[in-house]
Structure 1
Amino acid sequence: MNVSDCSDPAWQLVDHGQLYWQPAFYSSTQADQLYHQLLDELDWQQRPITMFGRQVLQPRLQAWCGEATYCYSGLSMRPDPWTPTLLTIREHIEQALVDIPGVRFNSVLANLYRDGADYMGWHQDNEPELGAEPVIASLSLGETRRFVLRHIDSKYKREYALSHGSLLVMAGQLQAHWQHSVPKTRLPKTPRINLTFRYIHQ
C-alpha cells in the first residue's frame, strides 16, 4: 500500500516508510476506561535486559500478551493470554488499517511509564521475527509523552506528542531507515500506558 493511493488523511508522507497518525483514535472517556482496565488486567513487571554485556533493569514496567514468544536484548518473553480489553483494542486498530493488505496482530508489548524518568532509548523494531516490513501499531493511554523519530542517514527528526487515546502506526520500510525513542524528562509526569501491537513470525 502506498500512501499516495490512500484517501485517509491519517496517513502521512514520510521518506523511506509509512506513518499513520490519529491523535484522537479514542475519545477521552473511552481512553480513561481502557487505561484503568489495563492497569488491573495486565501483569506488570520490570524486566532485565542485556546492555553492553551486563544486565540492567528496563526503565519502565512491561507486559507481553498474545500468541508468540518474543526475544530482544537477551530477554525472552513468553506471552500471557490476550485479555478482553486487549482483544477489543486489537480489533479496532485492525479495522482502522484495512488499507494495509492482510494486516493483523498476534502479539502486543505493553509498557507502563511510571513518571518522566521512565523512558525508551533510541532503537528500531527490526528483529528478524517481525519480518522485512513490520507494521507496529502504538496506542497511548494516560500522560502525554514525546515520541521522536530520527532518520538513520540524514538524522532528520520528526516529533509527535503521544496523547491520551492517540494511535501512531509505523509501516513499510520505516524500521529499516528510522530509529525512534520516548525521551526521559524532568517535567512532572503521571503514568502512561503504551501498547505496541505487532505480528511475530514463528
Structure 2
Amino acid sequence: MDLFENDGMKLVNLLPQDGEAYYHGKILVAEIADMYLDQCINELHWEHDRAFIYGKEIVTKRKIAWYADEPVAYTYSGYTKRALVWPDCLREIKQRVESHCGEVFNSCLGNFYSSGEEGMSWHSDAEKDLVGNGVIGALSLGGERKFSFKHRHTGESVSLTLGHGSLLVMKGSTQKNWLHSLPKTKKVVEPRVSLTFRQMRF
C-alpha cells in the first residue's frame, strides 16, 4: 500500500509576496494518518503551554510537546522549554516528512487541540533559536482546521484548510513578513495534532 498521496501534485506558493508557503495536501493515506494520530495523542508528553503576555503568565488550553535531536532549551513567548528525546513514533513521522519535502529537521514542537474551540492567535515562528529563513514542515493529524496567513505590513491575508494527514511547508522570509493563526471554531469537535518540524541552532 502506498503510504503517500498526491505525490504528483504541482506545488504552488500560497503567498503572493515576501515568503514561501507550499501546501502538499494529504501526504498520508487515512489509515496511516489515523495510526499516527492515536500514537501522538497517547505517547507524546503533552503539557499545557505557558506564555508571558504583558508581564502576566497565561496558561493555554492547548497542549504542547517539545522534542529534538538534543535536550536543548527553546524560548518563545517569554517561556523556556527543554526538549525531550525523540520517541519511536515521532522519529518515524519525521523521516516521512523529510523524505516527502526534501528537508532535514532536528526538532519538533507538537500542538494538541482537543477541540475546535482551541486555537492559536496571530504569531510568527521567528525565535532566535531557529535557523534564519529556515524551513518549517507542519504535519496535521485529526480534525480539519482553517489556517490563515496575514502580511505584517499590508494586512493581505491567505487562508486554507489543513486536512488530516496533510503537510504545509513554510520557508524563506515567511516568518519575517507574515503572521499565521489557527482560528477557533465551534464547528470542529475532533481533536487535532499539529507537528511542526523545525531547524534549530544547536
What TM-score comes out, normalization by structure 1 length? 0.90
Structure 1 unmatched runs, 5+: 1-6
In structure 2, the partner of 1:30 is 32
Residue pair 1:140, 1:163 contacting (<8 A) in 2 also: yes
Q: Distance in 2 between matches of 1:24 and 1:47?
A: 27
Q: Distance in 2 between matches of 1:171 and 1:86?
A: 22
Q: Deviations over 1:82-102 (max 9, x none)?
A: 01111111111112222xxxx
Q: How many residues align?
A: 192
Q: Distance in 2 between matches of 1:138 and 1:188?
A: 19
The SS at the match of 1:196 is: strand
Residue number among 41, 53, 57 corresponding to 2:43 in the alignment: 41
Q: 1:176 to 1:105 in 2, by over 3 A?
A: same
Q: Deviations over 1:64-115 (max 9, x none)?
A: 01123211112111111101111111111112222xxxx3211100110011
Residue number among 86, 90, 97 corresponding to 2:94 in the alignment: 90
Q: Distance in 1 between matches of 2:172 and 2:100?
A: 16
Q: Distance in 2 between matches of 1:185 and 1:40?
A: 24
In structure 1, the partner of 2:5 is none
In structure 1, the partner of 2:3 is none
Q: Distance in 1 between matches of 2:119 and 2:14?
A: 27
Q: Which amino acid aligns with 2:74?
A: Y
What TM-score comes out, normalization by structure 2 length? 0.90
- Equivalent pairs: percent with the same residue? 35
Q: Which amino acid aligns with 1:157?
A: S
Q: Distance in 2 between matches of 1:38 and 1:63?
A: 10
Q: What is the Cα deviation at residue 45 of structure 1?
A: 0.7
Residue pair 1:134, 1:175 contacting (<8 A) in 2 also: no
Q: What is the Cα deviation at residue 59 of structure 1?
A: 3.1
Query: Is the counterpart of residue 79 in structure 1 residue 101 in structure 2?
Result: no
In structure 1, the partner of 2:4 is none
The aligned runs of 1:1-202 (5 Å cut-off) are 9-12=10-13, 14=15, 15-66=17-68, 67=70, 68-98=72-102, 103-202=103-202
Q: Distance in 2 between matches of 1:194 and 1:118?
A: 12
Q: 1:35 to 1:13 in 2, by over 3 A?
A: closer
Q: Distance in 2 between matches of 1:69 and 1:199?
A: 14
Q: Deviations over 1:172-201 (max 9, x none)?
A: 111111000001112242110000000110
Q: Distance in 2 between matches of 1:8 and 1:171?
A: 19
